[in-house]
A = this chain, B = another copy of it.
């Protein structure tokens, strides 16, 4: 968690609306959840611009459909609830899930004096249960009266479900005498926690930008951060990340595009790493770096094959320098160009595989010392090209199974 720097033009508020407490009794929530913040509004100054990216899962939840639909309006507010994902509740016209998402937007719009289309809704929590609408009716007007510029840390709390800690990050840079600030919050345990595992992130800046500029910057940043973390390869029905620019600094990002992209990348990368580190059951933070493939896609294919291999992940949990498992995962990657004799594998700085075979300098002691660390870098060279791609993941522990097998039951 990093200190969140306030963004001029962004006010917000969070409340305990009783949503986490309102669930069907077949779902055993932690009793402490009943006391937690679970509903927030973020209000954006006039002329703010918002971009967003959403889950690629075909079965996206009702709020995702509504947010996509409203993104082309002048977005002025985000409404975010935790405790209920409004997913699997119907996304067809006239179905309860979609109706409820639209109704939440209407309530927020009414209390803020804006149009319903200017509100983006986000939900995270258990799936298959209707949104407890009374919780929204009872609290949205109150929230609208409590909006303040320094409430973002409370929103960072209110969007959490089973996360252990808030995830926050800020970055600043100067353009002449003026300072541009980017601040972001996130939630998610990287699909370690199934029904509540949605990854949500909300990022704000006082830069001035067109939606096209923002969308491009956000897509680039997400591709290098949230899209590069993986715990188990599963994706949620509710994943979303938004970026809102209030323009309060009066500096257009067109004048500082590289610096803005760099600062935004730093924020999303920090948030993504915080998500991985908060994964319950995770005992290791692992970077897999693949170099030299004939394309970016080839490097990523190898990186994800290794990152998703349960055999590699259990070896990481056991701090076992089991290079055979890494080699076997590289070998089954679905790429055309791989040549055994061009593959080198390093654990930290220790070379374990040289030209496709066990390095002659390698010893178990060297490998074990690297694997005992809590942060591990596995570097895999698959050729001589100038490509380099990184993904981040965790180990596979007893607690992963425990959490995912016992949750809900």
Residues of B within 8 A of A340 (CB): 58-59, 91
Which of B318, B356, B402 lies in contact with A405, CB distance below 8 A? B318
- Docked CA distance A234–B358 (Å): 20
Residues of B within 8 A of A90 (CB): 357
A57: Cβ under 8 A from any B Cβ: yes
Which of B233, B341, B404 lies in contact with A315, CB distance below 8 A? B404
CB atoms of A194 and B234 under 8 A apart: no
Residues of B within 8 A of A317 (CB): 401, 405
A386: Cβ under 8 A from any B Cβ: no
Instruction: For residue A300, give the distance in angstroms from its CB to the closest CB of chain B.
Output: 14
A93: Cβ under 8 A from any B Cβ: no
Q: How many copies does the complex hold?
A: 2
24 contacts between A and B (CB under 8 A): A58-B340, A59-B327, A59-B330, A59-B340, A60-B331, A87-B324, A90-B357, A128-B324, A194-B311, A194-B322, A232-B309, A233-B309, A233-B310, A235-B328, A310-B396, A314-B400, A314-B401, A317-B401, A318-B405, A320-B405, A397-B405, A398-B398, A398-B401, A401-B401
Instruction: For residue A399, give the distance in angstroms from its CB to the closest CB of chain B.
Output: 9
Which of B332, B356, B405, B406 lies in contact with A234, CB distance below 8 A? B332
CB atoms of B402 and A325 under 8 A apart: no
A50: Cβ under 8 A from any B Cβ: no
Interface size on A, residues (CB 8 A): 62
| Shortest 3 CB-CB contacts between residues of A and residues of B | A59-B331, A314-B404, A318-B405
A375: Cβ under 8 A from any B Cβ: no
Which of B128, B236, B329, B358 lies in contact with A358, CB distance below 8 A? B128
1/0 per residue, CB under 8 A from B, across A159-195: the answer is 0000000000000000000000000000000010011
Which of B59, B232, B320, B328 lies in contact with A59, CB distance below 8 A? B328
Known: A234-B310, A328-B235. Contact between A320 and B58, CB under 8 A? no
CB atoms of A236 and B328 under 8 A apart: yes
- Docked CA distance A405–B314 (Å): 5
A338: Cβ under 8 A from any B Cβ: yes
A127: Cβ under 8 A from any B Cβ: yes
A30: Cβ under 8 A from any B Cβ: no
A132: Cβ under 8 A from any B Cβ: no
Known: A88-B358, A237-B331. Contact between A400 and B194, CB under 8 A? no
Task: Find the residue from A87, A195, A317, A357 having the highest chain B CB count within 10 A.
Answer: A357
Residues of B within 8 A of A398 (CB): 398, 401-402, 405
Instruction: For residue A131, give the distance in angstroms from its CB to the closest CB of chain B.
Output: 15
1/0 per residue, CB under 8 A from B, across A301-314: the answer is 00000001111001
Instruction: For residue A81, give the distance in angstroms from its CB to the closest CB of chain B.
Output: 18
- Docked CA distance A351–B237 (Å): 21
Residues of B within 8 A of A26 (CB): 364
CB atoms of B315 and A405 under 8 A apart: yes
Which of B87, B311, B330 lies in contact with A404, CB distance below 8 A? B311
Which of B308, B397, B402 lies in contact with A233, CB distance below 8 A? B308
Known: A88-B327, A405-B317. Contact between A56 and B194, CB under 8 A? no
Residues of B within 8 A of A232 (CB): 309-311
Interface residues in A218-238 (C-beta closer than 8 Å to B): 232-237
Which of B92, B310, B408 lies in contact with A320, CB distance below 8 A? B408
CB atoms of A322 and B195 under 8 A apart: yes
Residues of B within 8 A of A327 (CB): 59, 88, 237
What is the chain B residue whose CB lies nearest that of A56? Answer: B332
Residues of B within 8 A of A314 (CB): 400-401, 404-405
Residues of B within 8 A of A236 (CB): 328
